[in-house]
Structure 1
Amino acid sequence: MKKLFASLSKDATLGSVFSLFPGKLAPWCEYESLVMRGKSDLSFAERELIAAYVSGLNACSYCHGAHTMFARAYGIDPELIESLMEDLNSAPVDQRFKPILAYVAKLTLSPSRMTEEDANAVYKAGWSEDALFDAIQVCGVFNLVNRLVEGTGISRVGNDPNDVDEQTLAKFRSETFYTDFGRANGLDV
């Protein structure tokens, strides 16, 4: 951990930041829970894949590692996520999903350059405006949380995504995972 906050220990996690600023992070935690586990045209797996991908694009190892594990809980091979990081076009991901991933990549890396063609590629692949908006929300949430993590100096990644037991994976699959995590770390959500 980079020692950016004297009140955080060297082995601080995102939960440590939640505990330090519960009043400020509770509304964000509720929103993240809605975005990641609320009703959507995108599955939980697809949203976790977007979270891991955006976090990887931002070089946020903490969130990239965590959401690679969460995506694994929904059956996504961590190798697929790593292949996305190398090259979206050749990665073995569903062709229908690639325009959404291209959209969030561009939104992350050059947001002022979004075009109608970017959105039309998503629609042409058969996705609705609701699905695109949900992808945008996941992208936005993780661009924010990546900066919270990096800005507070959190860097401890934890487990290898391939080395997580089934009980832990089941916890990640919970529809209330995000609010449960917030409550466990002192948030009133």
Structure 2
Amino acid sequence: MPFLSSLPDAAGVLDVMKAFPEASAPLVDYHEVVLRGPSALSVGERELIAAYVSGLNACHYCHGVHGAVAEALGVEEGVLAALLADVESAPVRDELKPLFAYVRKLTLTPSGMTAADADAVFAAGWEEKTLFDAVSVCALFNFMNRLVEGLGVKAPDDAYFAVAARRLTSGRDYTGYRRLIADGT
């Protein structure tokens, strides 16, 4: 049950956004740019970063939703759990490992970031824009995890994650959420 009595008992993020459209509409627009805009990282890889950050933060709701989205976009089942266990041995492309190490450190110890952390990303062949994209997804999901946990938003059950993934991969993406918020329905 969410902490705000004005929300329904089984409130999801969309319910929160509908309740507070002034702040939520620009946030959804930012989701669209960061997660679906042009990037050297695929949409699935960005959703995987979102789920990874959420897993590091133990945000079950965002971890479940975005893990399911990443899998619906072609990320193999088990990759997320492997990343959370150990980035270096996870079954992802070698050039992705420094990005995941970077967002891990940024999530868990943000004041400890150094130029050497960025240099490891660049040494893997990534451009500055890709590091910006990864940091943007990381920052967005650290924010979203605090919003979800701070308001007591919980998934009704694990089956919800597949439903949410279908919403975010069936052509409606985040712009569809923007319309739902604007309509208030």
The one-letter code of the counterpart of 2:77 is P
- Matched with 2:69 is 70
- Matched with 2:48 is 49
Helix, strand or coil: the match of 2:153?
coil
Percent identity at matched positions?
A: 46
| CA distance 1:59–1:16, shift in 2 (3 Å) | same
Is residue 66–residue 165 contact of structure 2 (8 Å, CA) maintained in 1? no
Q: Distance in 2 between matches of 1:157 and 1:103?
A: 32
Is residue 18–residue 186 contact of structure 1 (8 Å, CA) maintained in 2? no
Give the deviation of 1:52 after TM superposition.
0.5
Q: Distance in 1 between matches of 2:109 and 2:153?
A: 25
| CA distance 1:109–1:149, shift in 2 (3 Å) | same
Q: Normalised by the size of structure 1, how large is the TM-score? A: 0.89
Which region of structure 1 is more displaced relative to structure 2, 142-151 or 86-95?
A: 86-95
Give the deviation of 1:186 after TM superposition.
3.8
- Matched with 2:21 is 22
- Matched with 1:13 is 12
More helix by share: 2
The one-letter code of the counterpart of 1:141 is L
Q: Distance in 1 between matches of 2:159 and 2:77?
A: 10
Aligned length: 184
- Long gaps (5+) in structure 2: none
| CA distance 1:148–1:169, shift in 2 (3 Å) | closer
Q: Distance in 2 between matches of 1:111 and 1:60?
A: 18
Is residue 69–residue 166 contact of structure 2 (8 Å, CA) maintained in 1? no
Give the root-mean-square deviation of aligned CA atoms. 2.1
- Matched with 2:81 is 82
In the TM superposition, what whole-angstrom CA distance separates every residue of 1:156-187 from its partner, at most 9, and x where no partner exists? 164459x948xx86653356501202322446
Q: Normalised by the size of structure 2, how large is the TM-score? A: 0.91
Q: Distance in 1 between matches of 2:60 and 2:95?
A: 27
Residues 161-172 of structure 1: pairs in structure 2 closer than 5 A: 164=162, 171-172=167-168
- Long gaps (5+) in structure 1: none
